[in-house]
Amino acid sequence: MTVLVGDIGATTCRLALARIDGHRLLELGARAEIPSAEHPDLGAAVGRYLETIERRPSGAVLGVAAPVREGRARFANLPWDESEDGLSRRLGFDDIRLLNDFEALCHALPLLGEEHLVELYAGAPEPEGTVAVLGAGTGLGHGFVTRDEGEDRVHSSEAGHVEFGPRTPAQDALLGWLRRRHGRVSCEHVVSGPGLFAIYRFLVDTGRADEEPETRDLIEAGDPPAVISDRGLEGSDAACRRALEIFVSAYAAHAGNFTLAVQATGGVYLGGGIAPKILTALRGEVFRKAFLDKGPMTAVVESTPVRVITDPDAGLLGAARAALG
């Protein structure tokens, strides 16, 4: 049996065909990446992909960057409102399943090899403990896995939309700056690609850092979060370096908060598009200190290992595993 699987983000729709035999995933093939913003809806993006393949799959499982309720997904970072029934009728499928993209990432965990996991903090996990999965990209996604009598149960979460809680004077000022622009400020406003750019603009616009002309030109010509993270990691731009440091600290603190919220004694996994690209920064003391700074609950997070998922196919693998039933 061949199933269409997807990892549908606000920036890119990653699609592939999963060949399944019973309860085994045999392979992923016919991978494609389609820019999300080039299409008016998910059906158009998937339809474009279907035009490129010779054999039609029997069904589809799509992990989407949106909460899924009763078979419907309303995207926060795209003007898309999709339903399983509507997509099935439009695309001619008997069965299409939508699930949150980080729910799909949770499903992928048993399929990830050690070569696709980078340890940031060792900890001492409980073998049957809850596992948290979160990650920054265009947005800030979350999911978690609980164990019930030896069976994994996957849960989605919208914890990226809880209020941002500053921890330092600089973050206090950042919160005020963001509040004047957004009103309510969520963690996603800070811990995401657009959030990294917002941190940089805050530093420059408030005179806390000078903007290098070369950085300004690169930002205007390309992908601002990528420019800031690259130049921050290189150390070639003080404003970018400081923006990345604030971003990493906020990311780590939020990961620690989510660890406490779901009591993730089994471990924390960082997915999404940003973490694999800034591994050098995540391995530093800034991340460790902010993750562990939990007052009387520090002992809880001290025992929780943190790993980064580096497999670009993780979302597709998770969607395929969800298709196994």
Q: What's 271's domain CATH number?
A: 3.40.367.20
Assess if residue 97 is contained within a domain: yes
- Res 24: pLDDT: 77
Number of neighbouring beta carbons within 10 Å of residue 246: 22
**Residue type for 174, please?**
L
Q: State whether 285 and 317 are in the same domain.
A: no
Q: Mind spelling out the 3-state secondary structure of 91-104?
A: HCCCCEEEEEHHHH
Q: State whether 135 and 265 are in the same domain.
A: yes
Q: What's 38's domain CATH number?
A: 3.30.420.40
- Res 1: pLDDT: 82
What CA–CA distances, in Å, run from 315 to 61, 215, 219? Answer: 11, 32, 29
Q: State whether 166 and 281 are in the same domain.
A: yes
Calculate mean pLDDT across residues 140-166: 93
Q: State whether 96 and 197 are in the same domain.
A: no
Q: State whether 84 and 164 are in the same domain.
A: no
CA 251 to mean position of chain CA atoms: 12
Calculate mean pLDDT across residues 56-80: 92
Q: CA-to-CA distance for 262 and 310, rounded, in angstroms? A: 23
**Residue ranges making up the domain that contains 85:** 2-101+313-323
- Res 195: pLDDT: 98
Q: CA-to-CA distance for 28 and 280, rounded, in angstroms? A: 30
**Residue type for 87, please?**
L
Q: State whether 207 and 83 are in the same domain.
A: no
Assess if residue 215 is contained within a domain: yes
**Average pLDDT taken over every residue of the chain:** 94
Q: CA-to-CA distance for 43 and 254, rounded, in angstroms? A: 34
- Res 160: pLDDT: 96
Enclosing H/E stretch for 271 = strand 267-271
Assess if residue 118 is contained within a domain: no
Q: State whether 59 and 140 are in the same domain.
A: no
- DSSP helix/strand/coil, 318: helix
For the chain, what is the domain count? 2
pLDDT digit string, tens, across residues 151-163: 899 999 999 999 9
Q: State whether 198 and 246 are in the same domain.
A: yes
Q: CA-to-CA distance for 174 and 166, rounded, in angstroms? A: 8
Q: State whether 91 and 206 are in the same domain.
A: no
Q: Which residue matches tokens 């996991």?
A: 117
Calculate mean pLDDT across residues 45-59: 90
Q: Under a CB-based contact definition with an 8 Å cutoff, are residues 138 and 9 in contact?
A: yes
